[in-house]
């Protein structure tokens, strides 16, 4: 009986020691960072262009630029952090 228990114990230990290869997958990009940049607004040339039209258009396009810059910076930050985590696990 002791020999049987010893055989079961040894076979259980050897069965647990097998290692399977673990393949790490780099995480997917958040959807908010995948959205393409919006197009800049052109001036309406169908009417006489005034200075206020130019200023309004410039403000709108500047807002789009700053929004895109923030998304770009968020992308760089996300990628850098994910890469550090991914490489530290190896």
For the chain, helix (H) and strand (E) counts, in that order, are 3, 0
**What percentage of the chain exceeds 90 in pLDDT?**
46
End-to-end CA distance of the chain: 44
pLDDT at position 65, please? 94
Q: What pLDDT, on the 0 to 100 scale, is given for residue 2? A: 66
Mean pLDDT within 23-48: 86
């Amino acid at each position: 009986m002791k020999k049987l228990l010893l055989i079961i114990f040894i076979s259980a230990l050897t069965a647990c020691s097998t290692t399977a290869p673990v393949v790490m997958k780099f995480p997917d990009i958040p959807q908010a960072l995948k959205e393409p940049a919006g197009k800049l607004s052109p001036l309406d040339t169908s009417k006489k262009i005034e200075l206020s039209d130019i200023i309004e258009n410039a403000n709108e396009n500047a807002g789009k630029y700053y929004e895109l810059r923030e998304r770009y910076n968020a992308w760089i930050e996300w990628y850098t952090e994910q890469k550090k985590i991914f490489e530290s696990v190896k």
